[in-house]
Amino acid sequence: MSLIQPRTLKGFRDYLPAVMMPREQMMQTARDTFRSFGFAPIDTPVLEYLEILSGKGSDETDRQIYRFQDNGGRDVGMRFDLTVPLARFAAQHIGTLGTPFKRYHIAPVWRGENPQAGRYREFVQCDFDTIGTLSVLADIEAVAVINQLLEAIGFDRFTISVNNRTILTGLLDQFGLADKSVPVLRSLDKLTKIGREKTHEEMCRVAEIDAAQADAVLALAQCDGDAESVLAQLPEITSGNPIAAEGIQRLTEIYRGALASGVPARRLKLDVSIARGLDYYTGVIFETTLDDLPEIGSVCSGGRYDNLAGLYTKQHLPGIGASLGLDRLLAAMEQLKLLPEASTPAPLLITNFDHSHRDDYLQMAAHLRAAGIGVEVYPDTKKLGAQLKYADRRGFTAVIVAGGNEWDENRCQLKTLATKETTDVAYTHQDPAALVAAIQSVLSASATSPGSRSAAADGSPAGS
Amino acid sequence: MSLIQPRTLKGFRDYLPAVMMPREQMMQTARDTFRSFGFAPIDTPVLEYLEILSGKGSDETDRQIYRFQDNGGRDVGMRFDLTVPLARFAAQHIGTLGTPFKRYHIAPVWRGENPQAGRYREFVQCDFDTIGTLSVLADIEAVAVINQLLEAIGFDRFTISVNNRTILTGLLDQFGLADKSVPVLRSLDKLTKIGREKTHEEMCRVAEIDAAQADAVLALAQCDGDAESVLAQLPEITSGNPIAAEGIQRLTEIYRGALASGVPARRLKLDVSIARGLDYYTGVIFETTLDDLPEIGSVCSGGRYDNLAGLYTKQHLPGIGASLGLDRLLAAMEQLKLLPEASTPAPLLITNFDHSHRDDYLQMAAHLRAAGIGVEVYPDTKKLGAQLKYADRRGFTAVIVAGGNEWDENRCQLKTLATKETTDVAYTHQDPAALVAAIQSVLSASATSPGSRSAAADGSPAGS
């Protein structure tokens, strides 16, 4: 029989343990954070009716949907984001769920776009949203969640940029240019790339506004400084326009509320230039950048939208939410050397080189697990050297060696792999306490050693 | 614009928070258990080349694969289990990974079969496997994992049935009937359904063995009693056949090793009649039934297989693994009333009915979260009655009420929803300790009250 070549499709990838472990940990951190704010998990099918998925998408997303006819002749597609399914879900179940409805959803999505470096056809989205309330409290809370989430993942130096799109809307309204908001935003979006002068030129040419108006738009977009000073400048730049004033008021409340929620002022930036796409968001918008890697772009973005489920129900469902860029963050952590290198989730290996003591190894492992220590027992009685090589390669923190002599003498050897230290520890099945204590001390020393977010930290079993 | 009817495809389902929360908790329990034994997570793409998926499947699974041509004209399919992707993955990466390779994989799979009650076209599989070792230690460990997993999920009364298929193989070999093993097993598989007599008759007729041989096969399959007594009877029933003797030896080691690993004897049953499909497994096999709901069938099954990746590589990769029946277990827990009813992952709601104190509510929430208490703040300043109704409906354990008077007097009201008790607790932002203690006491009382595996237990944030 000829072999089938084992391979993955272009744009898709396997996750090996060393890569999957930090991914899984980040997803768990996200879940824990969302839950601590009262966001509840939901899940929706990967396949949906194609008309549901393509209902409101742009031509571009429509083209990217993996679509086919199922066995029943239905036109179906694989979800390309988690927002369209949320909209369908909310329209279908909001009567049961009631509002406010706070959900998170961590799940893969698929886009048949041309894969590039760092872009894949299958990737995980990690979203949280509050549906059914216009309260600014929900906006503030979104900032607090982003702050808490990045902190819990392990970042300290990051910036959450906040804007309220209605401020620009107010400025344009003041000039009688409310209908120009899309081309103006489109030009403004290029500001960091093409610079002030070219943006000004393009705004006048493409959006057909005059030079003074373009000056005012740019003055607003480039309004800089700490949050208090930005808030002080905005009323004058927007000439007291009432729509802008309301937007400034909301932005002020978000800033003050975020501080009250414990977000440090140094992480908050009021940035009236961010636009985040043109159509979707209608109010506050967020972008989050890592201070040490700003070039990778936003790692958590979102905002407020007017009407989530308008395609599927007449019920008006406003919402506010954001999405964590899991892949981008993991790539950043790799670049910043924040990821552990271990590919074992258990920090301890019990070596196995005496056949007649197999059940002793198993019993010892059970005692250690009961004490909250993750333990692997090497399955075969190979030479110790081969087992230690395996331990090094997998990234175990410590190994236990116990042969006939040790078992006869009610002791075992505990080897710490990083320091090559070996100590003799008393052990009997009746009294594993000394061994448990010795291992815990080795694991906690390893967890606190510099540069080591090691297996010990995320390798202990439930409840640790 | 006409509305699109929000609906899911036949055989697919949405998970609302009340259902998703225990699902997520069970998946997390599985991860924690697998990790504590040194199994590491992997993930593979949902889409694979069709030739990879249909390589070894039966006609039936082949028919059920969701398949299509992607934009690049490739024949692709959605995975229908996690074993074929594991085989492809192992063939592709085992050189990098090395053996023994221990992995778990919790992920959805798709089968376009006709949906029936309790069967869906999309469901989650939850597998763990050890690849690349023939050691009986890995077999024993699989039993220990199953025991630990069901205990961690919350079950006490369950039975892990263990068999080693080579014992029957040995018996048939003794009769010179080694080539009859498939039809004999096929008949034997019906034993519980059609009874001894009809099975005997069918075995003679279909498998063409004689009555004495059928008697011996049935004596083996019906060999009953506690494990020690089964192990004592087997050598005589198999007439000392050396293949059977080796199988009995391995079964004995698995039994003794499982006891050493802390699996209670009352949960272990040596059952020589279980076959678990005809082709795949080659050695030890497991099935797990709930003592209080045996009729739902096995909730965790698996076994040892000879050659996992033979379609994709010449490297011989034996394996041992099992699969937790997540959906079946959740259905069982619902039936046994073991599931909480809450649809909030945070146990505490801070009501919000005084606009001017919004930032105080937010600051209080931040303090409580920092103390490890999951907190939701009601976003709108609705009437207290409406907010309490929301709290009841969502299943919060307790709510905090603080209006102008309370804030002026540095206190708040803590209401326990189950008991309708309200207490006044001192609170300032500078010193939240009294409130933290009062809430923790309410939450722990609620977590230990009968029948309540409540939000408090699984609602606290990370690290609790």
Kindly state whether A95 is in contact with chain B, defined as any CB-CB distance less than 8 angstroms.
no
Q: How many CB pairs under 8 A join A and B?
A: 330
Distance from CA of A333 to the nearest CA of B (A): 19
Q: In angstroms, rounded to a whole number, what is the distance separating the alpha carbons of residues B348 and B377? A: 9
pLDDT digits over A220-238, tens only? 988 989 999 999 999 999 9
What is the spatial distance between Cα A288 and Cα A308, in angstroms, rounded to a whole number? 23
Residue A276 has pLDDT above 80, yes or no: no
Residue B125 annotated as binding?
Answer: yes
**In the predicted structure, residue B2 carries a pLDDT above the cut 90:** no
Residue A369 contacts B where some CB pair is shorter than 8 Å: yes
d(CA B354, CA B243): 79
For B:442-461, CB contacts with A below 8 A are 459-461
Task: List the single residue in B with minimal CA-CA distance to A47.
Answer: B9
B276 appears as a binding residue in the annotation:
yes
Do residues B250 and B142 make contact, with C-beta atoms less than 8 angstroms apart? Answer: no
- Interface subset of A 156-175, CB within 8 angstroms of B: none
A117 has a chain B CB within 8 A of its CB: no
pLDDT computed for residue A449 by the predictor: 61
Buried b (16+ CB within 10 A) or exposed e, B95-105: eebebbbbbbb
Chain A residues lying within 8 Å of B33, measured CB to CB: 461-462
pLDDT tens digits for A381-439? Answer: 999 999 999 999 999 999 999 999 999 999 999 999 999 999 999 999 999 999 999 99
**Is A378 within 8 Å of chain B by CB?**
yes
Does B366 have pLDDT greater than 90?
yes
Residue B460 confidence class, pLDDT cut points 50, 70, 90 = very low
Verify whether the Cβ–Cβ distance B17 to A7 is below 8 Å. Answer: no
**CA of B218, closest CA in chain A: separation in Å?**
33
Taking only the tens place, the pLDDT of each residue in A172-204 is: 999 988 888 888 888 888 888 899 999 999 999
Find the distance separating the first CA and the last CA of chain A, reported in whole Å. Answer: 49
pLDDT value at residue A274: 83
Rg (CA), chain A: 28
- Confidence at residue B58, expressed as pLDDT on a 0 to 100 scale: 67
pLDDT (average), residues B55-77: 86
User: In Å, how far is A34's CA from the nearest CA of chain B?
Assistant: 9
Q: Is A296 helix (H, G, I), strand (E, B) or coil?
A: helix
The residue that leads in pLDDT, A60 or B299, is B299
Percent of chain B with pLDDT over 90: 77
pLDDT at position A151 is 97
Order of all β-strands in the sheet with B75-78: B47-49, B75-78, B67-69
C-alpha–C-alpha distance, residues A240 and A98, integer Å? 38
Residue A282's pLDDT is what? 86
Region of poorest pLDDT, from A62-66, A114-118, A321-325, B158-162: A114-118
* Structure tokens that stand for B422 in this block: 């309200």
Residue A264 confidence (pLDDT): 98
CA of B276, closest CA in chain A: separation in Å? 25
Helix, strand, or coil here: A257? helix
Asked if A69 and A46 count as a contact pair (C-beta separation under 8 A), the reply is no
Tell me, yes or no, if B182 comes closer than 8 A to chain A by beta carbon: no
Question: Quick check: A42 and B16 CB within 8 A?
Answer: yes
Q: Smallest Cα–Cα separation from B442: which of B456, B427, B462?
A: B456
Tell me whether residues B66 and A47 touch, CB distance under 8 A. Answer: yes
Domains of chain A and any CATH numbers? 13-154+291-339 (3.30.930.10), 158-267 (no CATH), 348-459 (3.40.50.800)
Contact A49 B7 (CB under 8 A): yes
pLDDT at A30 over 50: yes
Q: How far is CA B66 from CA A5, A73, B11, B50, B119, in A?
A: 21, 12, 13, 10, 16
pLDDT of residue A89: 98
Reported as a single tens digit per residue, the pLDDT across B202-232 is: 999 988 899 999 999 999 988 989 999 999 9
Res. A262: pLDDT tops 80: yes
- Average pLDDT of chain B, as a whole number: 91
Q: Is A382 on the interface with B (CB under 8 A)?
A: no
**What value does the mean pLDDT take over residues A125-140?**
97
Phi, psi of A328 (to 5 degrees): -65, -40
Per-residue pLDDT band for A455 (boundaries 50, 70, 90) equals very low
Question: Hey, of A320, A376, A464, which one would you mutate to test binding to chain B, going by the most B CBs within 10 A of its CB?
Answer: A376
A279 pLDDT band, cuts 50/70/90, is low
pLDDT of residue A57: 59
Mean residue pLDDT across chain A: 91
Does the beta-carbon distance from A362 to B261 stay under 8 Å? yes
Q: Is the pLDDT of residue B410 over 50?
A: yes
Predicted local distance difference test score (pLDDT) of residue A61:
77
Residue A244, SS3?
helix
Amino acid at B318: P
Measure Cα distances from A416 to A347, A407, A419 in Å.
11, 20, 6
Instruction: Give the pLDDT of residue B157.
Output: 97
In the predicted model, what is the mean pLDDT of residues A247-276? 93
Q: Quote the CA–CA distance of A403 and B56 in Å, as a whole number.
A: 44
* Alpha carbons A77 and A47: distance in angstroms, whole number: 5
User: For residue B129, what are the β-bridge partners?
Assistant: B103, B321
Residues 338-357, chain A: which have Cβ within 8 Å of B?
Answer: 343-346, 349, 352
SS3 state of residue B361: helix
With CB atoms and an 8 Å threshold, state whether B313 touches A112.
no
Q: How confident is the model at residue B279 (pLDDT cuts 50, 70, 90)?
A: low
Which chain B residues are within 8 Å of A260, Cβ to Cβ?
359-360, 362-363, 366
Q: How far A270 CA sits from the closest chain B CA (Å)?
A: 19
Structure confidence at residue A453 as a pLDDT band (50, 70, 90) = very low
End-to-end Cα distance, chain B: 49
pLDDT exceeds 70 at position A135: yes
Q: Do A262 and A220 touch, CB atoms closer than 8 A?
A: no
Contact A152 B42 (CB under 8 A): no
Q: What residues in B contact A98, CB-CB < 8 Å?
A: 390, 393
> What is the rounded average pLDDT of the residues A32-49?
98
Which residues of chain B have a CB within 8 Å of the CB of A100? Answer: 378-380
Task: Kindly list the strands in the beta sheet with A375-377, ordered across the sheet, starting from the edge strand earlier in the chain.
Answer: A375-377, A348-350, A398-401, A411-416, A421-426
**SS (HEC) of B187-209:** HHCCHHHHHHHHHHHHHHHHCCC
Distance CA B17, CA B25 (A): 12
Touching check for A98 and chain B: CB below 8 Å? yes
* CA pair distance A371, B4, nearest whole angstrom: 55
Residue A321 dihedral angles phi and psi, to the nearest 5°: -165, 175
Nearest CA to CA, how far is A459 from chain B (Å)? 7
Instruction: Establish if A149 touches chain B: CB-CB under 8 angstroms.
Output: no
- Residue A188's alpha-carbon distances to A217, A284, B266, in angstroms, are 9, 17, 72
Phi, psi of A109, deg, nearest 5: -135, 165
Share of chain A above pLDDT 70, in %: 94
| Amino acid identity at B430 | Q
Tell me the one-letter amino acid at B50.
L
DSSP state of A345: S
- Where residue B349 falls among pLDDT bands split at 50, 70, 90? very high
Q: Judge whether A104 and A71 are in contact, CB under 8 Å.
A: no
Nearest-CA distance A181 → chain B (Å): 24
> B170 with B238: CB under 8 angstroms?
yes
B-chain residues near A15 (CB < 8 A): 41-44
Query: How high is the pLDDT of residue A342?
Result: 86
**Residue A193 pLDDT:** 85
Which residue, B338, B341, B227, B226, is CA-closest to B293?
A: B338
Rg (CA), chain B: 28
* Mean pLDDT to the nearest integer, B293-302: 93
Q: CB-CB: which of B7, B97, B377 is closest to A141? A: B377
Nearest chain B Cα distance for residue A430, angstroms = 13
Q: Inter-chain contact A98–B374, Cβ cutoff 8 Å?
A: no
Whether A76 sits inside 8 A of B51 (CB atoms) is no
Residue of A nearest to B253 (CA): A359
Give the Cα-Cα-Cα angle B314, B315, B316 (nearest 5 degrees). Answer: 110
Q: How many CB atoms lie within 10 A of CB A198?
A: 13
| Chain A residues lying within 8 Å of B316, measured CB to CB | none
| Closest residue to A352, CB basis, from B8, B137, B349 | B137
Alpha carbon distance A245, A170 (integer Å): 8
Identify the residue with better confidence: A274 or B457.
A274
Q: Which of A45, A378, A380 sits opposite B8 (nearest CB)?
A: A45
Sheet architecture: strand order including B300-305: B40-41, B101-110, B122-131, B319-324, B300-305, B284-290, B158-164, B268-270
Mutation target vs A (from B13, B21, B31, B47; most A CBs, 10 A cutoff): B47
Of A55, A24, A247, A92, which Cα lies nearest the Cα of B105? A24
Residue B277: pLDDT band with limits 50, 70, 90: low
CB-based contact B360 A9, cutoff 8 Å? no
Q: From the CA of B140, how many Å to the nearest CA of chain A?
A: 9
β-bridge mates for residue B428, sequence order: B431
pLDDT at B193: 85
Identify the pLDDT of residue B57: 59
Cα–Cα distance, A200 to A441 (Å, whole number): 63
Say which residue, A58 or A334, is predicted with more confidence: A334
The DSSP secondary structure of B136-176, one letter per residue, reads HHHHHHHHHHHHHHHHHHT--SEEEEEEEHHHHHHHHHHTT
Q: What are the CB-based long-range contacts (under 8 Å, 24+) for A250-253?
A: A250/A136, A250/A139, A250/A164, A250/A166, A250/A283, A250/A284, A251/A162, A251/A163, A251/A164, A251/A167, A251/A284, A253/A136, A253/A140
- Note whether A369 contacts B48, CB cutoff 8 Å: no
Dump the DSSP string for B331-359: HHHHHTT-S-----SSSEEE----GGGHH
Of A71, A313, A345, the CB nearest to B112: A71
- The β-bridge partners of A295 are none
Identify all chain B residues contacting A129, using CB atoms and an 8 Å cutoff: none
Distance from CA of A337 to the nearest CA of B (A): 21
Asked if B161 contacts B269 with a C-beta cutoff of 8 angstroms, the reply is yes
In a mutagenesis test of the A interface, which of B25, B249, B375, B376 is the best target, namely the one with the most A β-carbons within 10 Å? B376
Compare CB distances from A3 to B23, B45, B313 and report the shortest one's residue: B313
Residue A278 pLDDT class (50, 70, 90 cuts): low
Q: Which of A48-57, A144-153, B261-270, B312-321 has the lowest mean pLDDT?
A: A48-57
DSSP reduced 3-state for A202 = helix
> What is the Cβ-side half-sphere exposure of residue A339, based on CA atoms within 13 angstroms?
21
